[in-house]
Amino acid sequence: MDVSELIDGLNDKQREAVAAPLSNMLVLAGAGSGKTRVLVHRIAWLMQVEHASPYSIFAVTFTNKAAKEMRTRVEETLRMPVGGMWIGTFHGLSHRILRAHHREANLPEAFQILDTDDQVRMIRRLLKAMNIDEKKWPPKQVAWYISARKDEGQRPKDIQAYDVNEQLLLRVYTAYQDACDRAGLVDFAEILLRCYELLRQQPTLLRHYQQRFRHMLVDEFQDTNSIQYQWLRLLAGQENNMMIVGDDDQSIYGWRGAKVENIKRFLDDFSAQTIRLEQNYRSTANILNASNALIQNNSERMGKSLWTDGNQGEPISIYAAFNELDESRFVVSKIRSWLNAGNALQDCAILYRNNAQSRVLEEALLQEGLKYRIYGGMRFFERQEIKDALAYLRLLSNRQDDAAFERVINTPARGIGDKTLSHIRDCARNESMPLWYAAKAVLEQKHLAGRAATAVARFIELVEQLDDKVTELELSEQAKTTIEYSGLMAMYQAEKGEKGRARVENLEELISACGQYEPPIDEDFSSALQGFLAYTSLESGEGQADEHEDAVQMMTLHSAKGLEFPLVFMVGVEEGMFPSQQSHEESGRLEEERRLCYVGMTRAMDKLYISHAESRRLYGQEKHHSPSRFLRELPEECIEEIRIKTQISRPVNSGRFSASVTHAAFEDSGYNLGQRVLHAKFGAGTVLNYEGSGAQSRIQVNFDDVGTKWLVTAYARLQSL
């Protein structure tokens, strides 16, 4: 391909970065200014012009989705596959190094990743054994402490605990680490730390990677934490070149240890030059100006200005809903119109602050028959039945996996109670051995009562027989046999109702996922099963939905980083939700919430809707919230408010998505909220909402037969009933 093609579609500043001589560089710029595009073109440039081999390129980003997209974009730009190039997430790439050198990292070949759930379970067990009150020391918080220490690169021996509380946490950290090491388990934070330590302790290995990865590139650099920074620095060594791109205004992981100061540190440590991009290509002027105005309320910014020569676009619509159901109904009706106008669902995203907010939106979408896909959240591989099945597979692949052992020893119930388990745990602790071997030892020593002994013996036999049965089988057959032979299938089939059915379907889905799994060519796994298990732990559920199906994209604001969509809904923009309650309590957190709001708004290309609800039921509680302060920070000329203008007295007994709202008059409309009306084509329905005025005004009616529709009031010819 022609080199000029590489830089033709770029502005001067972007071109300067893409075509810069080999050096260390920071590209600092606001949202939508083409940072990721520069990074992709730089990779292509390195290969085309500097004749860099794909093997010498190492590119890091934050999510699997982003990594996948980056690879596709590079391949499209170069018009060839770039298999040998390392493009991945911090965790994915460190995991890959650990796999290749597990022995040097002191890990068994079949080491497993402990996910957050397993981690909490394990800590709970340790707390019990150590006689520590779980109520005073919630396992989740202890897990948080441990991960935070690891993110700082600290092992127990590096920590000086001055007060008794920290001394206690430190003891748990030590015990937890011992247990993980014994079982060959690594948690997420461990993957990075262990890889970092491995490289630091093995100079030959480090040298090997340093000589290989001549060109390092990092996207979303503002969200790196201490250990990630150290890791990058180590790999870069003295000779390699690193291009980082980032935006301090989009740093949203401070709560998890990310350090935006790393940008300044990079400039010093790497004597790097800075290139700033200032033109935004993503959003309309209204969206961009409103986002810029919002972020200006933060202090200590590195300072950037963004402009666009794109069109003004529509104003940002702000919808005041009276509750979360009304909000969902609003969103869904807008998506329906979007679809009816000939657009694709996948060009539309719903963004929310917390995963729990998705459920009510999902229900509304389901009701309207609109397909959706959730990124993050309750992922396929995190569902209970799937984790059960995976735990059996993990135990088959590695008998030292204590977390898997704990999960399945009495699932399905086989009469192995807490007492028996405590015996086994005690033995494991005293003898420093994994639970699996401890169970065998306990049996041999005849410490268990008759019934318990038989149950444990049967379990061990079951796993061993299963192992014999499946070793020679194909992966999907392995999964199928395991799910059936273990009794999991029968157990979930016996579970009544919708939930049981869904679980059985999920297990079947797991079998087909195994069938579709292709081990990566350039990664070294001793078996397909091992590769699959690693994939399930690392892949954040992105394969779950049918990838080719057109669907609305739903995700938290955090997972939307780096992405863009023509139509965006930001829901639940209320005080106490967003900014979150906790952000009032810690300094700096409010500004981080504002950056998150900036990230959310700047995902939108053409149209942005922001909604808030007067009252909301979440986590089983009804809360009354005022609109978020962030809304007041948006300039008036960029927004339009859609609201029911009269005071609405709240319905006493409104059912889910029912239209039984109170009868309050709409200003000027001639219709009442909740009024029953008749439409010539759609039949009878209930008035839900009204927007605009005069000839532009539109009315929303929930028709009994065809569901909710927005109609132009002037043409609707509604008859009152």
Contact range with ligand ATP by CB under 6 A, out of 33-41, 74-82, 521-529, 622-630: 33-41
Binding range to ligand ATP, per CB under 6 A, among 34-42, 352-360, 480-488, 666-674: 34-42
Residues whose CB is less than 8 angstroms from the CB of residue 605 and which lie 6 or more positions away in sequence, other chains included: 282, 283, 284, 287, 564, 565, 566
What φ, ψ does residue 677 adopt, rounded to 5°? -135, 165
Among residues 220 and 614, whose Cβ is nearest to ligand ATP? 220
Least distance to Mg ion from the beta carbon of 305, Å? 18
Nearer of residues 227 and 245 to Mg ion, judged by Cβ:
245
**Smaller CB distance to Mg ion: residue 245 or 321?**
245
Does residue 562 bind ligand ATP (CB under 6 A)? Answer: yes
Instruction: Please report whether residue 31 would count as binding ligand ATP according to CB under 6 A.
Output: yes
Exposure string (b/e) for 498-524, b if CB count within 10 Å is 16 or more?
A: eeeeebbebbebbbebbeebebeeeee
Shortest Cβ 417–Mg ion spacing (Å):
53
**x/- track of binding to ligand ATP for residues 227-266 (CB under 6 A):** --------------------x--x----------------
By CB under 6 A, tell whether 10 contacts ligand ATP: yes
Position 9 contacts ligand ATP (CB under 6 A): yes
- Residue 520: which of ligand ATP, Mg ion, none does it interact with, CB under 5 to 8 A by kind? none
Q: Give the 3-state DSSP-derived string for 322-387, with helices as H, strands as E and coil as C.
A: EEHHHHHHHHHHHHHHHHHCCCCHHHEEEEECCHHHHHHHHHHHHHCCCCEEECCCCCHHHCHHHH
Which of the listed partners (Mg ion, ligand ATP, none) does 9 bind, with a CB threshold of 5 to 8 Å by partner kind? Answer: ligand ATP
In the chain, the amino acid numbered 289 is: N
Chain-centroid distance of CA 658 in Å reads 32
Catalytic residue check, 220: yes
Give the DSSP per-residue string, 573-599.
-BTBBTTBGGGGTSTTHHHHHHHHHHH
User: Would the CA dihedral through 465, 467, 471, 477 be positive or negative?
Assistant: positive
Q: Which of 14, 112, 210, 250 is catalytic?
A: 250
Which residues touch 692 (CB under 8 Å, ≥6 apart)? Answer: 698
Q: Which residues are annotated as a binding site?
A: 29-36
Q: How far is the CB of 488 from ligand ATP (least distance, A)?
A: 42
Catalytic one of 115, 118, 219, 592 = 219
Residue nearest to ligand ATP (CB): 34
In the complex, the smallest distance separating the C-beta of residue 592 from ligand ATP, rounded to whole angstroms, is 16
- Residue 144's binding partner among ligand ATP, Mg ion, none (Cβ under 5 to 8 angstroms by kind) is none
263 in helix, strand or coil? Answer: helix
**Tokens 């991945």, residue located:** 88
26 binds, among Mg ion, ligand ATP, none (CB under 5 to 8 A by kind): none
For 604, the 3-state DSSP assignment is strand
Nearer to ligand ATP, 65 or 125 (CB): 65
Rounded to the nearest whole angstrom, what is the least distance from the CB of residue 570 to ligand ATP in the complex?
15
Residue 715 and residue 375: Cα distance in Å, rounded?
40
* 515 contributes a contact to ligand ATP by CB under 6 A: no
Catalytic residue among 594, 603, 616, 709: 603
63 carries an active-site annotation: no
Of 118, 190, 220, 592, which is the active-site residue?
220
Indicate the residue among 404 and 560 with the shorter CB distance to Mg ion.
Answer: 560
| Closest approach of Mg ion to the CB of residue 219, in Å | 6
- State the nearest-atom distance from the C-beta of 424 to Mg ion, in Å: 50
Q: Which residues bind Mg ion (CB under 5 A)?
A: 35-36, 562
Residue type at 184?
Answer: G
For residues 192 to 231, the per-residue mask of contacts with ligand ATP, x marking binding by CB under 6 A and - elsewhere, is: ----------------------------------------
Minimum distance from residue 136 beta carbon to ligand ATP (Å): 42
Q: Assess 36 for contact with ligand ATP (CB under 6 A).
A: yes
Q: Which residues contact 102 (CB under 8 A, 6 or more apart)?
A: 108, 109, 111
User: Nearer to Mg ion by C-beta: 250 or 611?
Assistant: 250
Catalytic residue status for 152: no
Measured distance CA(192)–CA(163) in Å, rounded: 28
Indicate if 79 belongs to the active site: no
Residue 14 binding: pick among Mg ion, ligand ATP, none (C-beta 5-8 Å cut-off by kind): ligand ATP
Q: Which is nearer to ligand ATP, 37 or 125 (CB)?
A: 37
Alpha-carbon gap, residue 318 to 294, rounded angstroms:
15
Helix H or strand E segment including 175: helix 164-183
DSSP 248: G
In the chain, the amino acid numbered 325 is: L
Using CB under 6 A as the binding rule, the residues of this chain from 569 to 628 that contact ligand ATP are 602
Instruction: Return d(Cα 148, Cα 169) in angstroms, integer.
Output: 12
Residue ranges of the binding site for ATP:
29-36
- Tokens 């790196």 locate to 224
Residue 116 as a binder of ligand ATP (CB under 6 A): the answer is no
Active site residue 72: no
Considering the rule CB under 6 A, would residue 282 count as an interface residue with ligand ATP? Answer: yes
Q: 312: which DSSP letter?
A: -
Alpha-carbon span 292 to 284, nearest angstrom = 12
3-state secondary structure 462-519: HHHHHHHHHCCCCHHHHHHHHHHHCCHHHHHHHCCHHHHHHHHHHHHHHHHHHHHCCC
Q: Minimum distance between the CB of residue 247 and ligand ATP, rounded to whole angstroms?
A: 5
In total, the chain counts a number of residues equal to 721
Q: DSSP secondary structure string, 619-660?
A: TTEEEE-PBPHHHHTS-GGGEEEE---SPPPPPSSPPTT---
Query: Among this protein's residues, is 36 annotated catalytic?
Result: yes
Does 14 engage in binding with ligand ATP (CB under 6 A)?
Answer: yes
Among 34, 377, 572, 707, binds ligand ATP (CB under 6 A): 34
Which one from 13, 35, 329, 353 is the annotated catalytic residue? 35
Q: Which residues contact 427 (CB under 8 A, 6 or more apart)?
A: 433, 438, 441, 442, 447
Encoded one letter per residue, x for contact with ligand ATP by CB under 6 A and - for no contact, window 682-701 reads --------------------
Q: How many CB atoms lie within 10 A of CB 581?
A: 10
Q: Using the minimum distance from each CB to ligand ATP, give the nearer residue, 41 or 423.
A: 41
Q: Could you say which of 13, 14, 36, 304 is catalytic? A: 36
Between 35 and 214, whose beta carbon lies closer to Mg ion?
35
Toward Mg ion, which CB reaches closer, 35 or 373? 35
Q: Which amino acid is at 58?
A: F
Residue 281 interaction partner, one of Mg ion, ligand ATP, none, beta carbon < 5-8 Å per kind = ligand ATP
The full DSSP string for 111-135 is -EEE-HHHHHHHHHHHHHHTT--TT
CB of 9 to ligand ATP, least distance (A): 5
Q: List residues with catalytic annotation.
A: 35-36, 219-220, 250, 603
Which residues form the interface with ligand ATP (CB under 6 A)?
9-11, 14, 29, 31-37, 247, 250, 281-282, 562, 564, 602
